[in-house]
Amino acid sequence: MKNTALLVLSLSLAGGTLVAQDGTQKFLLSKDLTGVPGKELLMLTVEYPPGGSDTVHRHHAQTLVYVLEGSIVMQVRGEAPMTLVPGQTFYEAPDDVHVVSRNASHTAPAKFLVFFVKDKGAPILVPAK
């Protein structure tokens, strides 16, 4: 699937919807989990331009992030923000609200890998307040 630059975009994949304010997503894999009925794995990369970010959202999924390039700031409601660099990870639980997801730099891009383990057909991202 080809990359798509976003300002405000809704993108549908495998019955889910991804809404991003700023960035580029590349979907890498969508696969049913063997031995776990009703669950699927989704893998994608996200690249934020300098100063790029996402709106407040939730995933309703086990979400694992691995930073590939640059630095990103991640925060879920009730927790302190974390600035992550290449090789570092971040976890988001299904009920977490992701209040900060942004590039820490205003001069360099940032790129990270995301794994979602979620209910089959459920949205991968929904806006939250």
What digits encode the pLDDT tens for the residues 12-47?
A: 333 333 434 577 889 999 999 999 999 999 999 999
Alpha-carbon dihedral sign for residues 23, 98, 74, 86: negative
Check if the beta carbon of residue 10 is closer than 8 Å to that of residue 33. Answer: no
pLDDT of residue 21: 56
Check if the beta carbon of residue 18 is closer than 8 Å to that of residue 37. Answer: no
Cα-based angle 4, 5, 8 (whole degrees, multiple of 5): 110
Percent of the chain with pLDDT over 70: 84
Mean pLDDT, to the nearest integer, of 90-108?
A: 96
pLDDT of residue 1: 33
Mean pLDDT, to the nearest integer, of 100-120?
A: 96
Give the lowest-confidence range in 52-56, 114-118, 125-129: 125-129
Check if the beta carbon of residue 77 is closer than 8 Å to that of residue 97. Answer: yes
Looking at per-residue confidence, does 123 or 79 come out higher?
79
The backbone torsions φ and ψ at residue 65, rounded to the nearest 5 degrees and listed phi first, read: -120, 140
pLDDT band with cut points at 50, 70 and 90 for residue 110: very high
Distance CA 65, CA 43 (A): 10
Six-digit token string for 31: 């696969």
Distance CA 125, CA 58 (A): 6
Residue 88 has pLDDT above 50, yes or no: yes
Distance CA 30, CA 85 (A): 26
Alpha-carbon dihedral sign for residues 58, 85, 105, 112: negative
Distance CA 83, CA 69 (A): 13
List, in order of start, the domains of the chain with CATH numbers. Answer: 4-127 (2.60.120.10)
